[in-house]
Structure 1
Amino acid sequence: MRRLLRHRDARRYLSAQALSLLGDSAMWLACGIWVKTLTGSNTAAALTFLCFSAPALLAPPLGLLVDRVRRGPLLVWANLAGAAMLVPLLFVDGREDVWLIYVVMVLHGGLSMLIAPAQSALLVTLLPAELRTDANAALRTTQEGLRVLAPLAGAGLFGLLGGRAVALLDMATFVVAAVLVATLRHTEARTRGVTGSIGAGFRFVTATSQLRRLTVASAVATLAVGLGGSTMYAVIGLGLHRPPQFAGVTQMVQGIGAIAGGLSAAAAIRRLGEVRTTVVALAVFAAAPLLVSTSSLPVVLAGNVVAGAAVPWIVIAIISLLQRLAPLQLQGRVYAAFEVCVTGPQTAGLAAGAALLAVLDYRLILAAESVALLLAAALLTRARPPVDPLTTAAAPSPGQPLPAARPGPPPTPPAPQYPPRPSARTAR
């Protein structure tokens, strides 16, 4: 990590993402609270997360765009576009304007489908292989750790000044992120020789046995997280009998757990490998929904700590594995293919959870989430450690030959909210 922080471009890149993630985390939380405040409906509030996840189908064409242009300038323009797309939130004034929040969340989700693969692909050319896991860990630790500050900037600022103030904060962080990325000294070579279709990323994932199994397990896990994520305001209102702004406290506590998870993830990956790290984290994560389903505040907060600690291990391990196995000219499409495969189920889980909340006790939904997370861990237990195409002359998978070496600098390798974002979101 010390070596990573001595790298000038790495410092600027991480600083840009830290500021950007602060604004995003505040905005994500504030939008849910905003809708809950305007409508009084848990289902309506849960739909904000569904709107954010819905644009996952845009990931494949956006991944192809990432592979065909220089990633630095793309990120600059994407961040400036992000500032512009928040403008409609400045006109939200009452219950009849809730649709504007939903529209912005859809746009925000679509932009994240572009920014996430561009960030990951830029990191592959920006840093030597041995620093990538640490960089992924630093990014995820920052993202999750900002849950400690985001409630103050999100729920706190919303309570003091309203949703418009949170929107202005996020707009400012988008602009600052664009400026910092624009000042990177790293010069990308113009993209040459990028061939293949939008589906090339999917073909690579399905032809690589470890990625194929990991994708199936991750899809099950994100479906579960989507189900559980829809219950957040029910847990706060029905279980803890607190106002919706109390979501700021639960997110802050989850951020504390995430700091510990992010700081330990790189060491765990070096010791266990990416796949085994994911298995352990999923098994630990499965305990969180059971703890959150109680009506005891200390137990619910403990569940948030457990979830916070587990998620960084999963996301950092997955992103590091994708970066390590995918050829440079397929980085954007492989990332996007994986993203759509896991964000789609998360979106379905959010939709199903929002609908089930109207007819089922939220605790039954959380119990289903726990069972599904254990199933995802079981699906990965027999996966063999992947072969690194950079270091081993492995036979290429049928239909998708691997290059002998990646173009770019010689080698000297993180999360649909998921990224599963939202999921679990896969932040900028």
Structure 2
Amino acid sequence: MRRLLADRDVRLVVGGQTVSAFGDAALWLVAAVWVQRLTDSVALAGLTFFFLTLPAVFAPLAGLLVDRVPRRPLLVIGNLVSGVLVLLLLLVRGAGDVWLIWLVMTGYGCSAVLLGAGASALLPDVVPAAQLGPVNALIRSLREALRVVAPAFGTALFAMAGGGAVAVVDAVTFLVAAGALGLLRIVESPRETEEHPHLLRSIAAGFRHLAGIEVLRRTTTALGLILLVVGFLESAGFALIVDGLHRPAAFVGVTQLAQGVGAIIGGVTAVRVLPRTGESALAALGGIGIGAGCAVWALPPSPVSVFGGAALIGAGLPWLAIGAETLVQLRTPGPLLGRAFGAVEVATSVPQTVSIATGAALLTVVPYGWVILVVAVVCAATGLWLLIGRAGPSAEPA
């Protein structure tokens, strides 16, 4: 890893994405807290996350754009536009301006979809194929570390100086990311050229690619199945704290801290595990790890079981994400990478969104322990299914 970071372009990519991720993590929670403070409504605060995640349905269109135009200029412009967008939050004055926060969050969601697909598609032009896994693991580790501190920073700054101050900090992080991308010295892979492209067929190319290669099809299916139940934990985790440990809901922040520490460990260890297992197997082991953490949560609740389970879940999630992302990068032709990641975004975001709503509904009729146990069984079984049909380590793109 030290030798890899000796590469100037790798440092720019990792540093730019890390700084931008800090701004993201600082603002997202603040936006919901801001709405709650302005309206005194928890439901309206929760709606903020809906506007943030809604643009995921347009991921295939974003992927098509990533594949049709030069990626580095697109990412530079996207970061700059995003920085200007968040500064609109400086205009928020009262409850009547909540619509402006939601508008910015919708635009933020569009930006996240486009920049996420673009960054993942650009990375193979920066990093040798054999090093994609370690770099993905490093970026994920840094992001997870920031998820531990950035929300606290954002909410503290919000309390002292208001939401506008957080927006300015986030805008600066977008500017830094754009600058880092602009300094890259790379030759991008060729774009796709179609003399008479059919729009719908071009958009669907990412889905066809994932479906046409067995290891990608199995891994994407496993991702969708796991995320279809992991969202249950959003509500079940609160019930575990309140009804199981008999602690106030705010105590969930301590649980998130344990999960964040586990995620950092998961990202760091992925660097050593990935070369030995391969990308698909790493994702499978991540699913099994999430299932194991949920199984610990299903035990009679105690601080040890709650924190231990959270750490296992936190460690499993990066393995799942790093394995899947690296696999797509290695098994997808360069001109198709944007649409492939757009298809993955749809295949994962939609089930996760559905599962969050379903989990909240289930808890009204089913004890939280049974809901957590269902998540444990589905995640572990899906991980085992993926492990059975795993592929070995990859070295070259398709």
| TM-score between both structures, scaled by the size of structure 2 | 0.87
Q: Secondary structure at the match of 2:202?
A: coil
Give the deviation of 1:172 after TM superposition: 1.6
Question: Aligned to 2:349, which of 336, 343, 349?
Answer: 343
CA displacement 1:344-390 (0-9 Å, x = unmatched)? 11121123234455666555543433333223224313314169594
Alignment partners' CA distance in 2, 1:340 and 1:259:
26
Give the deviation of 1:61 after TM superposition: 1.2
Question: Aligned to 1:287, which of 264, 267, 292?
Answer: 292
**Amino acid of the residue matched to residue 259 of structure 2?**
Q
What is the percentage of aligned positions where both structures have the same residue? 39
* Structure 2 unaligned spans of 5+: none
Q: Is the 8 A contact 1:282 1:374 kept in 2?
A: yes
Q: Secondary structure at the match of 2:388?
A: coil
Q: Is the 8 A contact 2:125 2:189 kept in 1?
A: no
Q: Is the 8 A contact 1:154 1:248 kept in 2?
A: no
Bigger Cα displacement from structure 2, 360-369 vs 17-26: 360-369
Who is 1:425 aligned against? none
Q: Is the 8 A contact 1:289 1:369 kept in 2?
A: yes
Bigger Cα displacement from structure 2, 114-123 vs 47-56: 47-56
The residue correspondences of 1:317-332 to structure 2 (distance < 5 A) are 317-332=323-338
Question: For residues 386 and 268 of structure 1, do their structure 2 counterparts lie closer, same or farther at Cα, with a shift above 3 Å needed?
Answer: closer
Give the deviation of 1:168 after TM superposition: 2.4
Q: Is the 8 A contact 1:47 1:354 kept in 2?
A: no
Q: Secondary structure at the match of 2:258?
A: helix
Give the deviation of 1:93 after TM superposition: 4.9
Q: Is the 8 A contact 1:141 1:262 kept in 2?
A: yes
CA displacement 1:271-320 (0-9 Å, x = unmatched)? 11112222222111123345557764454333322222111111111111
Question: For residues 369 and 105 of structure 1, do their structure 2 counterparts lie closer, same or farther at Cα, with a shift above 3 Å needed?
Answer: farther
Q: Secondary structure at the match of 2:203?
A: coil
Who is 1:394 aligned against? none
* Structure 1 unaligned spans of 5+: 392-401, 403-428
**Amino acid of the residue matched to residue 218 of structure 2?**
R
The residue correspondences of 1:3-82 to structure 2 (distance < 5 A) are 3-37=3-37, 43-82=43-82
Question: For residues 143 and 32 of structure 1, do their structure 2 counterparts lie closer, same or farther at Cα, with a shift above 3 Å needed?
Answer: same
Who is 2:186 aligned against? 186
Who is 1:333 aligned against? 339
Who is 1:272 aligned against? 277
**Amino acid of the residue matched to residue 216 of structure 2?**
L
Alignment partners' CA distance in 2, 1:254 and 1:289:
12
Alignment partners' CA distance in 2, 1:187 and 1:249:
45
Alignment partners' CA distance in 2, 1:37 and 1:360:
32
Question: For residues 367 and 100 of structure 1, do their structure 2 counterparts lie closer, same or farther at Cα, with a shift above 3 Å needed?
Answer: farther
**Amino acid of the residue matched to residue 352 of structure 1?**
T
The residue correspondences of 1:59-208 to structure 2 (distance < 5 A) are 59-93=59-93, 97-188=97-188, 191=191, 193=193, 197-208=202-213
Give the deviation of 1:32 after TM superposition: 3.9
Q: Is the 8 A contact 1:54 1:344 kept in 2?
A: no
**Amino acid of the residue matched to residue 279 of structure 2?**
E
Give the deviation of 1:110 after TM superposition: 1.8
Alignment partners' CA distance in 1, 2:169 and 2:366:
37
Who is 1:214 aligned against? 219
**Amino acid of the residue matched to residue 129 of structure 1?**
A
Give the deviation of 1:87 after TM superposition: 3.2
Who is 1:314 aligned against? 320
Who is 1:422 aligned against? none
Q: Secondary structure at the match of 1:312?
A: helix
Question: For residues 5 and 139 of structure 1, do their structure 2 counterparts lie closer, same or farther at Cα, with a shift above 3 Å needed?
Answer: same
Question: For residues 84 and 221 of structure 1, do their structure 2 counterparts lie closer, same or farther at Cα, with a shift above 3 Å needed?
Answer: same
Number of residue pairs matched?
A: 391
Question: For residues 295 and 150 of structure 1, do their structure 2 counterparts lie closer, same or farther at Cα, with a shift above 3 Å needed?
Answer: farther
Q: Is the 8 A contact 1:137 1:262 kept in 2?
A: yes
Give the deviation of 1:227 after TM superposition: 2.4
Alignment partners' CA distance in 2, 1:100 and 1:360:
38
Alignment partners' CA distance in 1, 2:28 and 2:370:
26
Q: Secondary structure at the match of 2:186?
A: coil
Question: For residues 243 and 170 of structure 1, do their structure 2 counterparts lie closer, same or farther at Cα, with a shift above 3 Å needed?
Answer: farther
Alignment partners' CA distance in 1, 2:13 and 2:289:
31
Quote the RMSD (CA, aligned, Å): 2.9
Q: Is the 8 A contact 2:66 2:114 kept in 1?
A: yes
**Amino acid of the residue matched to residue 212 of structure 2?**
A
Alignment partners' CA distance in 2, 1:311 and 1:344:
17
Q: Is the 8 A contact 2:56 2:109 kept in 1?
A: yes
Q: Is the 8 A contact 2:145 2:264 kept in 1?
A: yes
Q: Is the 8 A contact 1:69 1:191 kept in 2?
A: yes
Q: Is the 8 A contact 1:79 1:177 kept in 2?
A: yes
Bigger Cα displacement from structure 2, 186-195 vs 217-226: 186-195
Bigger Cα displacement from structure 2, 180-189 vs 96-105: 96-105
**Amino acid of the residue matched to residue 233 of structure 2?**
G
The yes-or-no answer on 1:379 pairing with 2:391 is no
The residue correspondences of 1:295-306 to structure 2 (distance < 5 A) are 296-306=302-312
**Amino acid of the residue matched to residue 86 of structure 2?**
L
Give the deviation of 1:128 after TM superposition: 1.2
